[in-house]
């Protein structure tokens, strides 16, 4: 099947805009880009709008709807899965065609997307994060009730000591993970931990990395803590998620060791502005933590950017409502990035980090994952934050918005 998108202006980061071009898609690949005439089975008039690669959100939780323990306790398990259907559509409508899920989604979502059972982004899976007893995302409450969602095919994430983390890494890999996620510091929203404290010891972290590398898998760290980041960098982790308390020295170390940073600037600012449900009994404690963190997070990520750390676009959607993904680009430009750099962080650079060499650009022989936008985001990247400005979304050559 051939589809022609004609009369578009092609936007790739760090390139001149190609005006009045035609893009031929054959099956799921961009076959030809030209300013000349092309014939095709199906023709879409781009109406002089702007064609970009579909975005990649490097930190989402597609099944999650706020991680509210009270809802996990009250709702039937089936809702955990059904929630992913509208979340996936909201993500597509925001212009995101691929996600890297950092915990909650299982192999069923990946298979359903591949079978086109519903409209959804492609997914890079971590299944469930590895968490130490008493650490961030250990959801056993003081009451003794364990709020962690588990079911056949979805392993429990809690583990301690070298032998347990080794086995848990293997279990998560067996469950279908594409990469390993580790909770290497406390969290802002977990009530029994604090974000400045490191979690897991160096032997445990190194064991996880060595086992993951045996299957050519990368390891990612949820980490706010400065000590925790350095432990993970020394252990051979590929990315740090959040990086709230990062400093200049640690940034330089990340550059030297080729460790990427998924800053997730949006999530803290969104929650600080919009708050938590009235019935959340921990809302006051969470809000107090956020007020302290929002300012220092932005300042520290600016330092990381100045030092040349490879910063990728990620939103932590699922902690916040889905569909706001490209608002993260505004926050990336706020820390000093150009529009080109911000767009690259969510397209070609993200694709390279995930190991794709045919994704993240509007280019011949690349995957036909594309978005059509009504104005040039290189002039003002904030246009991408309004989903109404994203006129069409194409995934593998098929119109999904």
The single-letter DSSP state of residue 146 is B
Span 2-53+361-399 CATH architecture: Roll (2.30)
- The radius of gyration of the chain's CA atoms, rounded to the nearest angstrom, is 21
Span 55-354 CATH architecture: Alpha-Beta Barrel (3.20)
pLDDT digits (tens, 9 = 90+) for 33-83: 999 999 898 999 999 999 999 999 999 999 999 887 777 778 899 999 999
> HSE (CB half, 13 Å, CA atoms) of 289?
21
- Rounded Cα gap, residues 302 and 241, in angstroms: 15
pLDDT at 190 over 90: no
CB 332 within 8 A of CB 100: no
CB 87 within 8 A of CB 96: no
> HSE (CB half, 13 Å, CA atoms) of 362?
28
pLDDT at 98 over 90: yes
- Rounded Cα gap, residues 242 and 355, in angstroms: 21
CB 63 within 8 A of CB 43: no
**What does the CA dihedral 264, 225, 260, 384 come to, rounded to 10 degrees?**
10
Residue 333: count other Cβ atoms within 10 Å of its Cβ.
16
Q: Where are the alpha helices (DSSP H) in 83-127?
A: 84-93, 107-114
pLDDT at 201 over 90: yes
Percent of the chain residues past pLDDT 70, beyond the cut: 97
Query: Could you give the angle at which helices 202-213 and 161-174 cross, rounded to 10 degrees?
Result: 30
Helix and strand totals (H; E) in the chain: 13, 15
Q: Where are the alpha helices (DSSP H) in 161-225?
A: 161-174, 202-213
CA 42 to chain centre: 33
pLDDT at 9 over 70: yes
Residue carrying structure tokens 């996600």? 99
pLDDT at 333 over 70: yes
Q: Residue 241's closest CA among 255, 261, 258, 226?
A: 261
Q: Where are the domains of the chain?
A: 2-53+361-399, 55-354
Q: Residue 239: which H helix or E strand, with range?
A: strand 239-242
Q: Residue 249's closest CA among 272, 227, 273?
A: 227
pLDDT at 280 over 70: no
Please state whether beta strands 219-223 and 239-242 pair in parallel, antiparallel, or not at all (unpaired). Answer: parallel
Confidence class of residue 194 from pLDDT cuts 50, 70 and 90?
Answer: confident
Least trusted range by pLDDT, from 104-113, 267-276, 305-314, 330-339: 267-276
Q: Residue 89's closest CA among 117, 66, 67?
A: 117
Confidence class of residue 282 from pLDDT cuts 50, 70 and 90?
Answer: low
């Amino acid at each position: 099947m051939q589809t022609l998108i004609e009369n578009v202006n092609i936007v790739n980061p760090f390139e001149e805009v190609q005006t009045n071009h035609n893009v031929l898609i054959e099956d799921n690949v961009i076959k030809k880009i030209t300013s000349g005439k092309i014939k095709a089975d199906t023709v879409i008039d781009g109406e002089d709008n702007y064609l970009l690669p579909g975005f990649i959100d490097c930190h989402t939780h597609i099944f999650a709807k706020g991680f509210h323990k009270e809802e996990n306790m009250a709702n039937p398990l089936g809702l955990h899965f059904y929630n992913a259907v509208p979340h996936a559509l909201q993500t597509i409508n925001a212009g995101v065609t691929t996600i890297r899920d950092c915990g909650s989604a299982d192999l069923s979502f990946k298979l359903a997307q591949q079978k086109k059972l519903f409209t959804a982004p492609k997914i890079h899976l971590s299944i469930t994060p590895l968490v130490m007893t008493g650490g961030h995302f250990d959801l056993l409450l003081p009451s003794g009730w364990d709020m962690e969602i588990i079911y056949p095919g979805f392993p429990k994430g809690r583990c301690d000591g070298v032998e347990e983390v080794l086995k848990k890494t293997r279990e998560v890999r067996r469950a279908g993970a594409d990469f390993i996620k580790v909770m290497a510091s406390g969290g802002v929203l977990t009530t029994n931990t604090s974000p400045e404290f490191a979690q897991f010891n160096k032997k445990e972290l190194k064991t996880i990395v060595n086992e993951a590398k045996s299957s050519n898998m990368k390891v990612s760290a949820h980490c706010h803590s400065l000590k925790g980041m350095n432990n993970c960098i020394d252990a051979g982790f590929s990315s740090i998620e959040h990086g709230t308390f990062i400093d200049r020295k640690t940034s330089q170390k990340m550059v030297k060791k080729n460790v990427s940073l998924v800053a997730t600037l949006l999530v803290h600012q969104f929650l600080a502005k919009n708050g938590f449900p009235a019935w959340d009994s921990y809302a006051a404690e969470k809000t107090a933590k956020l007020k302290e963190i929002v300012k220092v997070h932005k300042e520290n990520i600016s330092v990381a950017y100045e030092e040349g750390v490879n910063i990728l676009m990620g939103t932590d959607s699922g902690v916040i409502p889905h569909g706001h993904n490209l608002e993260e680009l505004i926050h990336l430009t706020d820390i000093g990035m150009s529009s080109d750099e911000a767009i690259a962080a969510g397209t070609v650079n993200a694709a390279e980090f995930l190991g794709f060499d045919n994704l993240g650009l509007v280019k011949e022989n690349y995957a036909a994952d594309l978005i059509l936008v009504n104005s040039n985001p290189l002039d003002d990247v904030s246009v991408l934050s309004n989903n109404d400005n994203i006129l069409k979304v194409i995934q593998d050559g098929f119109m999904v918005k």
